[in-house]
Amino acid sequence: MTRLSVNINKIATIRNARGGNIPDVLKAAIDCERFGAEGVTVHPRPDERHIRYQDVRDIAPVVKTEFNIEGYPSKSFIDLVLEVKPDQVTLVPDPPDVLTSNAGWDTITNQIFLKEVVGEFHKNGIRVSLFIETDEKMIRNAVHTGADRVELYTEAYASNFSKGKEKAIDPFVKAAKVANEAGLGLNAGHDLNLDNLKFFADNIPGLMEVSIGHALISDALYFGLENTIQLYLRQLQKA
């Protein structure tokens, strides 16, 4: 079964809006696991507008399933990852001012840079995934960076799902097959939700993990966090 990693950035966004420690991000991380999530994801950005670097340090010791840190590999980000040593780091090509991740890596242009970063993380026993689009060349070339996995950027699938789910998922099925053939593990994330997740998980071969934050935390406002995590886990169950 595909693993569910809950991105808790939005919980930190609410906390930061008022200052203080409500809601408690650390408690949220613990509760996500307690309610059935198989991983916790955070994405600290340079301006710390949601998850702060200190949050990452505080969360790392309490996560018992899998801790995944996303981010652009700046020096400060690399230093943080090497300090806390998560199970997985997901590298994204975000410029500092971007609202949310909106593109995948060009693994050809950035091959040398990524290979150096991946090598440094591997020395410290950290699995590396690259945020990537469905371009076959970019997926195949991810192998030459030394990455263990790729994470398919699923915004296009989510945006086109209501217009025709078979057409929307087709490039992702093809991309997944390329990743499988190349020996890369396969993750996915961005705009997956209760409407589109099951169809995606049922049709993507070799899907190991999905990272979901915005939709899941938004649904939790209506259904509660525990119930929401269970609802998402049910979407990932095979018939």
Domains of the chain, start order: 3-235 (3.20.20.70)
Has residue 23 got a pLDDT over 80? yes
Tell me which residue of 125, 178, 186, 123 sits closest to 153, measured CA to CA.
Answer: 186
70 carries an active-site annotation: yes
pTM of the model: 0.94
Task: Name the one residue in this structure whose structure tokens are 């995948």.
Answer: 104
Q: Is 83 a catalytic residue?
A: no
Which of these is catalytic: 43, 66, 133, 151? 43
Contacts of 113 (CB under 8 A, 6+ apart): none
Q: Three-state DSSP class for 102?
A: coil
% of the chain surpassing 70 pLDDT: 96
Q: Enter the DSSP assignment of 110.
A: T
Residue listed under structure tokens 């979407």 = 235
Q: Over range 220-234, report the average pLDDT.
A: 98
Contact 44, 105 (CB under 8 A): no
- pLDDT given for residue 1 in this prediction: 84
Residue 3 pairs in a beta bridge with 209
Q: What is the pLDDT of residue 239?
A: 60
Q: Catalytic residue, from 33, 133, 151, 190: name it.
A: 190
CB-side exposure of 169: number of CA atoms within 13 Å?
Answer: 19
pLDDT at 238: 79
User: What does the alpha-carbon distance between residue 58 and residue 25 come to, in Å, rounded to a whole number?
Assistant: 9
Q: Give catalytic status of residue 144 as yes or no.
A: no
Q: For residue 94, what are the contacts with CB-CB under 8 A and spacing of at least 6?
A: 45, 71, 72, 101, 102
pLDDT tens column, 65-101: 999 999 999 999 999 999 999 999 999 997 655 555 5
Examine the pLDDT at 24 and tell me if it is beyond 90: yes
Q: Is pLDDT above 80 for 216?
A: yes
Mean of per-residue pLDDT scores for the chain: 95
- Give per-residue pLDDT as tens, 161-196: 999 999 999 999 999 999 999 999 999 999 999 999
